[in-house]
């Protein structure tokens, strides 16, 4: 166990190390408290919701590892991450799924009058997600909505739009390959306090796709549900058994 020292206004966070990636050991409610401090600090905080695919990607690419090591908070989103921490004998408090954390932050924002910006997914998806979130959390002011299909030419304009809106919370729903590096590269220009990649969450909120049933989530089988719904995810899921083998091997050799 270690403490992730943090000079950005959220204090020290207890972490467990999974192949050098420092994953928070806070439970959901402590995580929200820490992120409330992050909002109060008005400094940028990148929250990464780690799963085995991302940890493997970090081990393979320097840019991904840098994004991980420079993130202010990494939460255990994937069941595989929770499992790995158990295997290494330094477990996390509980799974902190990005989708649930996003809702918990909206709930806290409802009490404290925060603002939020939604960036990502297709235009009709992000519009619908914004309108549903606005209904569910009427006291959180949604200060900006932008689809996630843009490239280098539009980058400056997207950043400027977020910076002008000065959101407390910025949720970025893009594919895993662009989301984290983009946030890491631009977090100091965005003027947002909590910046979190939420992957396919806007698709779920808008009603376009569904999350796994709670029973399956509890059995740690959410990944299987997503795979069954979207077989095109198979190639990238193949890193899961690799990850598990790597954990077992590291455990045997004493890490």
**Minimum CB distance to ligand UDP smaller for 78 or for 148:** 148
* Count of residues of this chain found to bind ligand UDP when the rule CB under 6 A is applied: 13
Per residue, the 3-state secondary structure of the chain, as one string, reads CEEECCCCCCCCEEEEEECCEEEECCCHHHHHHHHHHHHHHCCCEEEEEECHHHHHHHHHCHHHHHHHHHCCEEEECCHHHHHHHHHCCCCCCCCCCHHHHHHHHHHHHHHHCCEEEEEECCHHHHHHHHHHHHHHCCCCEEEEEECCCCCHHHHHHHHHHHHHHCCCEEEEECCHHHHHHHHHHHHHHHCCCEEEECCCHHHHHCCCCCCCCHHHHHCCCHHHHHHHHCHHHHHHHCHHHHHHHHHHHHHHCCC
**Minimum CB distance to ligand UDP smaller for 106 or for 173:** 173
Residues 95 to 154 in contact with ligand UDP, rule: CB under 6 A? 120-122, 148-149
**Minimum CB distance to ligand UDP smaller for 117 or for 202:** 202
Using CB under 6 A as the criterion, what x/- string covers residues 166-185 for binding ligand UDP?
-------xxxx---------
Among 44, 109, 191, 199, binds ligand UDP (CB under 6 A): 199
- Quick check: 76 binds ligand UDP (CB under 6 A)? no
Nearest distance in Å: CB 121, ligand UDP: 3
Nearest distance in Å: CB 199, ligand UDP: 3
Binding site for ligand UDP (CB under 6 A): 120-122, 148-149, 173-176, 199-200, 202-203
């Amino acid at each position: 166990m270690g403490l992730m020292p943090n000079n950005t206004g959220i204090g020290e966070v207890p972490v467990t190390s999974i192949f050098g990636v420092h994953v928070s050991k806070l439970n959901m409610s402590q995580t929200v408290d820490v992120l409330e401090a992050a909002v109060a600090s008005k400094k940028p905080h990148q929250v990464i919701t780690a799963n085995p695919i991302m940890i493997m990607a970090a081990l393979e690419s320097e840019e991904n590892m840098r994004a991980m090591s420079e993130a202010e908070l990494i939460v255990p989103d994937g069941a595989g991450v929770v499992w790995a921490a158990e295997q290494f004998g330094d477990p996390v408090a509980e799974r902190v799924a990005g989708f649930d954390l996003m809702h918990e932050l909206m709930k806290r924002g409802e009490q404290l009058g925060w603002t939020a910006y939604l960036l990502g997914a297709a235009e009709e998806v992000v519009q619908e997600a914004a309108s549903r979130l606005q209904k569910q959390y009427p006291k959180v002011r949604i200060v900006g909505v932008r689809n996630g299909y843009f490239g280098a030419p539009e980058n400056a304009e997207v950043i400027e739009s977020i910076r002008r809106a000065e959101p407390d919370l910025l949720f970025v729903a893009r594919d895993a390959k662009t989301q984290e590096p983009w946030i890491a590269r631009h977090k100091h220009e965005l003027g947002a306090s909590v910046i979190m990649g939420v992957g396919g969450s806007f698709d779920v909120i808008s009603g376009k796709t569904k999350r796994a049933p709670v029973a399956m989530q509890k059995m740690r089988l959410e990944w299987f549900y997503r795979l069954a719904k979207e077989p095109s995810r198979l190639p990238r899921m193949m890193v899961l058994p690799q990850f598990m083998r790597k954990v077992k091997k590291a455990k045997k050799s004493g890490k």
